[in-house]
Amino acid sequence: MANIINEPSRTFGEYLLLPSLTTKDCVVENVDLKTPICRFKKGEKPQLTLNIPFSSAIMQSVSDNNMAIALAKNGGISFIYCSQSIESEAEMVRKVKKYKAGFVISDSNLTPENTLQDVLELKERTGHSTMAITEDGSSDGKLLGIVTGRDYRITRDPLDKKVKEFMTPAEKLIVGKEGITLSEANDIIWENKLNALPIVDENFNLVYTVFRKDYSEDKDNPRSLLDDQKRYVVGAGINSRDYKERVPALVEAGADVLCIDSSEGFSEWQADTIKWIKSKYDDTVKVGAGNVVEKEGFKYLADAGADFIKIGIGGGSICITREQKGIGRGQASAVLDVAKARDEYFEQTGIYVPICSDGGIVLDYHITLALSMGADFVMLGRYFAGFDESPTAKIKYGNGYVKEYWGEGSNRARNWARYDLGGKAGLQFEEGVDSYVPYAGKLDDGLGSTLHKIKSTMCNCGAKTIKELQQNVRLTVVSSTSLTEGGAHDVILKNQ
Ligand code: IMP
């Protein structure tokens, strides 16, 4: 006989938080969002902690090295997508680990033989007006000059004018030597009234560029998530097929934590993957697993040794798994159930295995709900895809802009390993769509506003930490009619 759970499968939008007493010290500045990301024993400190409970999805359209740097700067973590070759994923990880705050690897490079037309096109594409002119046009070639917006006049200069005729040539440039500190570079920038300082090696090859604005940006980020060598922390996705080759390459590149990326993680392939990693690396390599939506799946992966477990099947914005296969569970019900299992597991074994609510976050308060329901952190795709820092193109759309966002189970991504059930490889049908999301500007700004909302809601609930929120929270199920009451209603909105 079928075992039927009669409790409806609920989503975040079906709940609201009830306020509790806010004491005077419970203000936004005092809220601490630190949260564990890897398993730890009772009484011990977790080895890896996030400064904000955010991770970006293991997706081609979301998490590359740029997103990873931007998010780690803000205290969260990206998992670089694994639906790419082992070499290119490892290279992305390497770029994050090599990144030095304020030292930018130039993405705007030309040769002296390029023309003003090329300069304008590159500026349009990257949005950057300072360009390094190198011998071969690469980001690490011999530095021959620099072009900025002050070197040409669009109204007077012919478009076929060669870069070598208007660039500031190398002999007139002020440069910094490789090894210089950010504060020394900044002093040179200020003393010489520069906007950018190229940093070169002993052969005058370009290594980095330091921009005046980046220095202050770096100082504005006390939340940055850094390893013990002050490098940004980064995660990387893996699959249960090529892990014996992929994992060593990612570990060698410096990945701080791995995560098996799968639409359905309650499988022997995941247990095998975790066990192989743990036996090869003696627990020095951390690996998350998933996704699951109920207790049994959690317990299975926790017993196999997963460092954290992801929750969510079918709730992602680009996901059509439920329509295609009829499996899944409302995200709120899944988080509540797995959180209970995590707490029971902790009581029984003394081991705390953090859980991550993955997908289905539509409004900012859904993040607070997920945390209050027991998630230690969340994973978001759509949310991060809209920012400048995501890997996709910004496209004009009507009166505004959009960015592209496609599922790992779409034909476009063709991430067969994510949907692999061990048999014949290959995605036989799509489980995701190709879409646009509204352009959301700079990650720093959007995330800053979301964090402020989460913290102020936590204050309304009388909680200064995520654990306090989970212990004290009271939630209410909303009726469909009260949902209407929750938005602006019965007024005529201006400017519409
Ligand atoms: P979102 O934040 O609602 O956009 O959901 C992102 C999550 O959806 C990811 O972290 C994945 O777990 C999941 N996901 C990514 N691609 C697909 C897909 O093609 N089909 C189903 N789920 C997907």
Is the bond preceding 192 in cis, omega lying within 30 degrees of 0? no
Instruction: Say how far apart CA 89 and CA 351 lie, in whole Å.
Output: 31
Query: Quick check: is 26 catalytic?
Result: no
Ligand 1 pocket: which residues have CB below 6 Å? 57, 59, 263, 312, 316-319, 321, 358-361, 379-383, 407-410, 431-432
226 Cα: distance to centroid of ligand 1 (angstroms): 27
Nearest to 475 by CA among 384, 371, 381, 397: 371
Alpha carbon 108 to its chain's center: 24
| 478: region left, alpha or beta (phi > 0 left; psi from -120 to 50 alpha) | beta
317 CA closest ligand 1 atom index: 3
Task: Tell me which residue has its CA closest to atom 8 in ligand 1.
Answer: 316
433 CA closest ligand 1 atom index: 19
| Domain regions of the chain by residue span | 12-100+221-480, 103-218
Written as tens digits, the pLDDT of the chain (496 aa) is 899 988 889 999 999 999 999 999 999 999 999 999 999 999 999 999 999 999 999 999 999 999 999 999 999 999 999 999 999 999 999 999 988 778 887 778 899 999 999 999 988 877 788 999 999 998 889 999 999 999 999 889 999 999 999 999 999 999 999 989 888 999 999 999 998 999 999 999 999 999 887 555 555 578 899 998 889 999 999 999 999 999 999 999 999 999 999 999 999 999 999 999 999 998 899 999 999 999 999 999 999 999 999 999 999 999 988 888 899 999 999 999 999 999 999 999 999 999 999 999 999 999 999 999 999 999 999 999 999 999 998 899 999 999 999 999 998 988 877 876 665 555 678 889 999 999 999 999 999 999 999 999 999 999 999 999 999 999 999 998 887 888 888 898 887 6
Phi, then psi, of 269 in degrees rounded to 5: -65, -35
Instruction: Say how far apart CA 437 and CA 406 lie, in whole Å.
Output: 10
Query: Quick check: is 418 catalytic?
Result: yes
70 Cα: distance to centroid of ligand 1 (angstroms): 21
Query: 324-358 burial by CB neighbour count: b if 16+ within 10 A, else e?
Result: eeeebbbbbbbbbbbbebbeebbeeeeebbbbbbb
Instruction: Say how far apart CA 299 and CA 187 lie, in whole Å.
Output: 55
Which of 39, 329, 342, 418 is catalytic? The answer is 418
pTM, two decimal places: 0.86
Find out whether 355 and 375 touch, Cβ atoms under 8 Å. Answer: yes
Nearest to 270 by CA among 247, 241, 293, 295: 241
Which residues are annotated binding-site positions for NAD(+)? 261-263, 312-314
Which residues are annotated binding-site positions? 261-263, 312-314, 316, 319
62 Cα: distance to centroid of ligand 1 (angstroms): 10
Kindly indicate whether the domain formed by 103-218 is annotated with CATH number 3.10.580.10: yes
Question: Domain 12-100+221-480 is classified in which CATH homologous superfamily?
Answer: Aldolase class I (3.20.20.70)
Q: Which of 82, 261, 318, 392 has the most ligand 1 atoms within 8 A of CB, as the residue to mutate?
A: 318
Which of 38, 319, 459, 461 is catalytic? The answer is 319
Instruction: Say how far apart CA 40 and CA 191 lie, in whole Å.
Output: 50
Q: Which residue is it, tokens 């996709």?
A: 392
Instruction: Say how far apart CA 158 and CA 286 lie, in whole Å.
Output: 57
Cβ-based neighbours of 7, under 8 Å, separated by 6 or more: 333
- Strands 400-406, 394-397: pairing is antiparallel
Task: Tell me which residue has its CA closest to atom 22 in ligand 1.
Answer: 319
Which residues are annotated binding-site positions for K(+)? 314, 316, 319
Instruction: Say how far apart CA 44 and CA 243 lie, in whole Å.
Output: 30
390 Cα: distance to centroid of ligand 1 (angstroms): 15
57 CA closest ligand 1 atom index: 10
191 Cα: distance to centroid of ligand 1 (angstroms): 49
Tell me whether domains 12-100+221-480 and 103-218 share a fold: no
